[in-house]
Amino acid sequence: MKIGRRAAKTDTGRRRLRNEDDYICEPPLFAVADGMGGARAGEVAAGIAAAALEEAGAETRGAEGVIALITEANRRIWERSLADPETAGMGAVVTAALVDAAAGTVAIGHVGDSRAYLLRNGTLAQLTTDHSLVAELVESGVLTPEEAERHPQRSAITRALGTEPAVDVDSFTVAAEPGDVFLLCSDGLSMMVADEDIASAIEAADRDPARAAEALVAAANARGGEDNVTVVLFEILEGEQAEDESPEGGKSSEPEPGPDPTPSQTSEGPKEPSGSLSRHGAGPGGRIAALLLIAAVLGIGLLGLYWGITR
Ligand SMILES: [Mn+2]
C-alpha cells in the first residue's frame, strides 16, 4: 500500500476571533492539534505540539513511535508553561496518524477530543474515543450518544497535553486497505457536523481529500461554525510508496490528479499559517482598491483637462 492524495484545511470558524488549531500534513505523519488557554496561549500550545510532532525522524514508526512523539509534545508544552507565566495552564489536544507503508498499517495516537475517522467501503467509523466528560458518561451509560451531542458540557475534556508533567496517550494500529480514506479533525468539525453528514460530504467529493476538506469546513461553518475547524485527510492506495517519496514527500510530490481538475483553495503540502485561507488573486478588497485608483487617476486627468480649457 501507499499514501495517495492528501489535503488539510483549517478555518477560524464564524464565532472565534483566533484560530488555535494547528495541523501536520507531511506523509507519513498527519495530525491535528487544538489549543486551549488564555490570551494566545492556546495557539502557543497547539504550535508547540505540531512542531514537536514534525520532528519525527524516518525511524519513528508504529504505535510506540506515535506515543513517543505525543509524550515529547506534552513535555515541551508543560515546560514552556512553567517557564512563561503568560502561558500558565495552557494545553492542547492532539490526534496523530503515522503511516507505515511497508507494514501496511496506520498507527493512531491521541489525547483529548480531536478525532480520527476511517471511511471504508462507504462506512465511516470513529476510530478514537474522546477523552471528554460526555464520552465517559456515555461509556458508563449515564447519557445516550444523542444526549451527549446536545450536552452543555460536551466540550469539557478529561485529558490534554501540557497540563501535567506526564500524559496518558491512547494508541492503536489499524491495518490499512486500498481505498481507505482517513480523516483527522478537531472538535470544531465533529461538534457541528454529524458522522453521517461527514461521510456523505467525503463521498460527494468523490473521496478527493482536497475537495472533501473544503466541503467539511464549509459544512461546519454552515451549521454555525462555533469553533475553529481543522481537517486532515489522506487516502490509501494499492502499490508501493515511490523511493523518492521521503517522509517529507508531501512537499515535493504532487497529489495524483483527481477526476475534477478545478483548482482548490485547500492547502496541500507546505502549510499555510494557521487560520489563513489561501485565496488566489486580489480578492474583493483588492479589486475595490484598483477601481478607486483608476477613478482617482481619471478624476485628476479630467481636472487637468478642465484647468487647461478654462485658462
Ligand atoms: Mn476546538
> For residue 190, how far is its CA from the centre of ligand 1 (angstroms)?
9
At residue 309 the predicted structure's pLDDT band, cuts being 50, 70 and 90, is low
Question: Does residue 28 have a cis bond before it (omega within 30 degrees)?
Answer: yes
pLDDT at 240 (0 to 100): 87
Residue pair 156/135 in contact (Cβ under 8 Å)? The answer is: no
Query: CATH homologous superfamily of domain 2-247?
Result: PPM-type phosphatase domain (3.60.40.10)
> For residue 83, how far is its CA from the centre of ligand 1 (angstroms)?
25
* 195-205 mean pLDDT: 97
Q: Name the grid cell of 277.
A: 485561507
- Residue 262 reports pLDDT greater than 50: no
> For residue 158, how far is its CA from the centre of ligand 1 (angstroms)?
14
* 285-297 mean pLDDT: 67
> For residue 57, how far is its CA from the centre of ligand 1 (angstroms)?
28
Domain positions in the chain: 2-247, 283-311
Between 129 and 250, the more confident residue is 129
> For residue 101, how far is its CA from the centre of ligand 1 (angstroms)?
30
pLDDT at 277 (0 to 100): 29
> For residue 127, how far is its CA from the centre of ligand 1 (angstroms)?
18
**pLDDT tens column, 35-85:** 998 778 999 999 999 999 999 888 899 999 999 999 999 999 999 999 999
> For residue 186, how far is its CA from the centre of ligand 1 (angstroms)?
6
Q: What is the largest CA-CA distance in the chain?
A: 91
| Per-chain mean pLDDT for the chain | 86
At residue 109 the predicted structure's pLDDT band, cuts being 50, 70 and 90, is very high
> For residue 289, how far is its CA from the centre of ligand 1 (angstroms)?
36
- Residues around the ion ligand 1 (C-beta < 5 A): 34, 186-188, 227
